[in-house]
Amino acid sequence: MTDTSMTGTETRAPLPLSLALLPVATLFAGIAGGAAAFGFGGESLLLALLLAAAVAAIVARSRGHGWAEVQAAAGRLFADALPAILILLAIGALLGSWMFAGTIPLLVVLGIDLVSPQWMALTAFLATALMSVVSGTSWGSAGTIGVATMGAAEAMGLPLAPVAGAVVSGAYFGDKLSPISDMTNITAIGAGAELYAHIRHMMATSLPPALIALAAYALLVPGASLAGASPAGAIRAELVALFAPGWWAALPLLVALVGIGMRWPPAPVIVGSAVVALVVGVAVNGFPAAGAVHAFVGGFALDQVAPGFAASEQFAGLVERGGLNAMAPTLVFILAAFLLAAGMEVSGALDALLARLLAAVRGAFGLVAATMAAGATMVGITSHGGVTALVVGGLFRPSYAERDLAPENLSRALADSVTVTEPLMPWTVSALFMASTLGVATLAYAPWAVFCWLGPVFGLLMALRHRLTGKGLKPAADPAG
């Protein structure tokens, strides 16, 4: 692994652990302090990120690295993440455009008619899981099927946090096990594992959490008790009155599903679906072209398409959303997160933390635990799952080989930490995307993202099983696994 504290031929002493931990400690102290003083929210989280980034830059300066190096490193991170950022912006445009076409209203009406409130969270998990397996993208699944289920849940008057957690769980379950997912392939490459052997080995730590999640969504999520007081009937009537949602409204969804299923670049596919939606809204719904532009850029607004429509407050809250501009605050968070990651990269703090974890390894259980800790720590700092899987995988591969453990154990540990934990950390790009897209704060949906937080638990349980029984981890000499 490259020592980022090296410049030219000059090699500096390793960064002391206390300095390496200082930006991380600042981040968590800032989050806790902001929550105590102002309540947990976007402003306190952004302030904590900026404070931690400033401390990381100061640590880098103490190592002889100036602001220009930190800025350049942040630029590289932003460039690496540009495809994901373009998807983020495209999803914002898609939400406003799909509302303009009546696509989301159509799906909400179908959800109200076909899905019992009691099973909405369960339906959200299954639908997004299937979409992610087929498409290989958790973001695309959450931004399409996930948004539709959130709209139906809101119309039914259901608690939104459980449904959002189910969307996130389903999206990452499918993404984790899909052979066409970027992260699934990268974790296999980083560990040196064969792709399908990697997927088979993940079943032991993926299926039990998924089954527990299904049980939780079926038994624990409130729904049936609220059906009597549900505003769904009134909202459905308003949706039908304004949009008259017919099957033409499904055309933008079909464009998105076909494009994502064909593995075309997601951002252009999403934008293409949004453009089709705007055409449908003008041609079929009779909405003005100016309203289409506003829906794409500023979000769907009733006063732009039907100024005289008598809408209830709940209806307006359901339909007035989306637009490119709605994602601008999320971009600010992403920049702050990348500044923090850049400062820690340039100062050598990331190298120091990972090396310390590896040095503490004792036995196979400790190796898996250290791998997962390293993966979660690095993705939490960098918000870049692909780079994390490649770096941590390369760092830990020799240790797995020395213990005669198959590379699938390493790839599974990476998936059980890197892939599924990022959407649970409020400051990461994935969590910011999910919170912005679904309209539910990360800390609100996280307890209900059952699959995501059970993934690391079952990863450690498999390692513990190996310690106690000799099973749970795949030996390097066992070709069948």
Lowest-confidence segment of 211-215, 227-231, 398-402 by average pLDDT: 227-231
pLDDT-derived band at 224 (thresholds 50, 70, 90) equals: very low
What's the confidence (pLDDT) of residue 87?
A: 85
pLDDT at 277: 96
Backbone angles phi, psi at 185, to 5 degrees: -70, -40
Q: What is the DSSP string of 410-432?
A: HHHHHIIIIIHHGGGSTTSHHHH
Q: What is the amino acid identity at position 15?
A: L
pLDDT at residue 8 tops 50: no
pTM: 0.81
Proportion of the chain above pLDDT 90, given as a percent: 48
The Cα 14–Cα 439 span in angstroms is 43
- Angle of helix 266-283 relative to helix 251-261, nearest 10 degrees, comes to 170
The pLDDT, as a whole number, for residue 40 is 65
pLDDT score recorded for residue 230: 60
Which pLDDT tens digit goes with each residue over 299-335? 999 999 988 888 888 888 888 988 999 888 888 888 8
Q: How far apart are CA 297 and CA 286, in angstroms?
A: 19
Both tokens of 418, joined, read: 């890197």
Which of left, alpha, beta for 263 (phi over 0: left; psi -120 to 50: alpha)? Answer: left
Look-up: residue for tokens 């700092």? 381
Asked whether 120 and 153 are in contact (CB, 8 A), the reply is: yes
β-sheet bridge partners, residue 6: 11
pLDDT digits (tens, 9 = 90+) for 416-448: 999 999 999 998 889 999 998 899 999 999 999
The residue count of the chain comes to 481
Of all helices (H) and strands (E), which one includes residue 6?
A: strand 6-7
**186-221 per-position pLDDT tens digit:** 899 889 899 899 999 999 999 999 999 999 999 987
Residue 167 three-state SS: helix
List Cβ neighbours of 102 (8 Å cut-off, separation of 6 or more).
Answer: 243, 244, 245, 246, 248, 249, 280, 281, 284, 285
What integer pLDDT is reported at residue 107 of this predicted model? 87
